[in-house]
Structure 1
Amino acid sequence: MRRRMPALIPHAVLILAILLFALPIWIAVAGSTQDSAAIARGEVSLVPSLSGLGVYRDVLVNGSAGAGPVWRSLLVSAAMALAIAFGKIALSLPSAYAVTFFRFPFRMTAFWLIFLTLMLPVEVRLIPTFQVMSSLDLINSFTGLTIPLVASATATLLFRQTFLAVPDELVEAARMDGAGPLRFLRDILIPVSGANIAALFVILFVYGWNQYLWPLLVATDPKLDTVVISIVKMVGVDTATEWNKVMATAVLALIPPVAVVLVMQRWFVKGLTEGDK
């Protein structure tokens, strides 16, 4: 019995953590199928009502007071998250390759300038970034919504650390085999970094999906509302808040990032745990 006690404690803590994380999600699922007035009074049952499942079709097609159809917001969020994820990887990969394997003047200065941007909070960059987007006439455009979020010092740093672990013998072998810079990147470095790319894609997709402050600032056109903006617009409108629709939209907003994590779970864990190549 005494031997079993140390093993039971971490399991109990894990179960408690799961309940703490899962309970709000379950309340949203159950509340989305119930009457909005009852939710406003705090009378939320933990048992979902099957007769209220039609609210999901309602918010997808018609939306709610203050917000348009949720299907459009989901598409905007998905397109934004994919553009940010692919854009960050496509920009960070060659950037890290350049500062790791090429020797040019002020190479490390360039790297440290990139790294120092990690020290700047997003809020500090909002006003100058907005000014640049306004000067380029990119306000209320999908380009203005995504391009400022593509540059990533974090991804560049992670790729650089991966490239530094590549053995010098492998670099010399590729050079003796006649591999040029592009071939070395394509045939050796990208396959070696496959797990890291997958892990970064998951992290960056969730990062792009959850964006709130920048879309709120740069996109005032309702057609460019992300699902996070739609949820905010549903709350606090002039009419009574339809809490069942708010909760249904929140549940729908959870599905795509959770699906991405589940589909890419194996590569995600591998990329986080395999630091050395």
Structure 2
Amino acid sequence: MIERNRFLSVLTHVVLLLGVAVVVFPVYIALIASTHTTEEIIQVPMPLTPGTHFLENFTAALLSTDTGTGLHTPMARMLTVSLVMALAIAIGKIAISLLSAFAIVYFRFPFRMLCFWAIFVTLMLPVEVRIAPTYKVVSDLHMLNSYAGLAIPLIASATATFLYRQFFLTVPDELAEASRVDGAGPMRFFKDVLLPLSATSTAALFVIQFIYGWNQYLWPLLVTTEERMYPVVVGIKQMISAGDAETQWSIVMATAILAMLPPAVVVLAMQKWFVRGLVDAEK
């Protein structure tokens, strides 16, 4: 039994609170800045209490096409692009990884393990390494400035395939034998047995892959040349003026807060499943 120590208990709580403060303080600054005008934000010191322009700034960021930031597309459109891209990447990665892991574990075909290791080796080749040939392929297929061009090159996932393969290897062979005796085919076994068993792992992967897709910056920056197809992360960067132009920081901060909301909602809504998917070992 671990002995209770009051000093250590207080120390751990202090360290925890300091860690929370370090993480939350930048978000607090962005939220406060989104309630002030740009003139108030650039004052020294910057106000640390809420202002009176909350609705004005958020309405301008979300709906207006004339925010003085250099962009002419409402942020609602960019949020929609980010949402579609993140969902397509998350769902696509999970679907492809499930099927590829299922084929590798439960089917016997020539060069089966070679195929698996070929998929696994791609972990060493991130998007940044293969970005030039990937862009060439997307351009030749006329997928620039499209949802397909934003999502399809990013939906393959060696990590998810590996995790599903390791999980399927722990599923007792008796389940496959029982399904075969009952007359269930491979896809019936996949749908009725493997999918329900892997629900928690799928939920955890969905949260991770959704945030991965939502935070993409480099690839969308390359394949989008029209504002209507900018995701919100690229939109925020384009809102920050270069040179002598004045940046509307109040609108930028309001947009940043709006950009945080969908990933936060996904994490909070799937928190229980996410934690179970990471730590639950029950089959």
Q: CA deviation at 1:53?
A: 3.1
Describe the superposition over 1:230-276 as per-residue Cα deviations: whole angstroms up to 9, x where unpaired.
10011024620000111000000000000010001110110011245
Q: In structure 2, do the counterparts of structure 1 residues 153 and 275 end up closer, same or farther at CA, with 3 Å as the change threshold?
A: farther
- Once residues 213 and 270 of structure 1 are traced to their aligned partners in structure 2, the CA distance between those partners, rounded to angstroms, is 32
Partner of residue 203 from structure 1, selected from 208, 226, 247: 208
Partner of residue 244 from structure 1, selected from 225, 250, 254: 250
Aligned to 1:134: 139
1:66 touches 1:237 (CA, 8 Å); kept in 2? Answer: no
- Once residues 180 and 252 of structure 1 are traced to their aligned partners in structure 2, the CA distance between those partners, rounded to angstroms, is 46
- Once residues 15 and 191 of structure 2 are traced to their aligned partners in structure 1, the CA distance between those partners, rounded to angstroms, is 45
Describe the superposition over 1:40-60 as per-residue Cα deviations: whole angstroms up to 9, x where unpaired.
344321111134431000111
Describe the superposition over 1:46-75 as per-residue Cα deviations: whole angstroms up to 9, x where unpaired.
111134431000111115322221100000
Aligned to 1:17: 19
Q: Structure 1 counterpart of 2:64, which letter?
A: N
Describe the superposition over 1:107-147 as per-residue Cα deviations: whole angstroms up to 9, x where unpaired.
00000000000011321110010010011111111111110
Is 1:226 the counterpart of 2:215? The answer is no
What stretches of structure 1 move > 4 A for 4+ residues in a row?
Answer: none
In the TM superposition, 1:167-178 aligns within 5 A as 167-178=172-183
Counterpart of 2:275 in 1: which secondary structure? helix
Scaled by the length of structure 2, what TM-score is found? 0.94
- Once residues 174 and 13 of structure 2 are traced to their aligned partners in structure 1, the CA distance between those partners, rounded to angstroms, is 46
Q: CA deviation at 1:178?
A: 1.6
- Once residues 151 and 182 of structure 1 are traced to their aligned partners in structure 2, the CA distance between those partners, rounded to angstroms, is 21
Aligned to 1:66: 70
1:97 touches 1:163 (CA, 8 Å); kept in 2? Answer: yes
Residues 173-182 or 48-57, more deviating: 48-57
Is 1:272 the counterpart of 2:278? The answer is yes
Q: Structure 1 counterpart of 2:247, which letter?
A: T
Partner of residue 86 from structure 1, selected from 83, 91, 95: 91
Structure 1 gap ranges (5+)? none
Structure 2 gap ranges (5+)? none
Q: Structure 1 counterpart of 2:40, which letter?
A: A
Aligned to 1:47: 49
How many corresponding residue pairs? Answer: 277
Q: CA deviation at 1:3?
A: 2.3
2:149 touches 2:223 (CA, 8 Å); kept in 1? Answer: yes
Aligned to 2:32: 30
Is 1:149 the counterpart of 2:154? The answer is yes
Describe the superposition over 1:166-223 as per-residue Cα deviations: whole angstroms up to 9, x where unpaired.
0122222222222110010000000000001111111111111101000000011110
Counterpart of 1:50 in 2: which secondary structure? coil
Alignment RMSD = 1.5
Query: Percent of pairs identical after alignment?
Result: 53
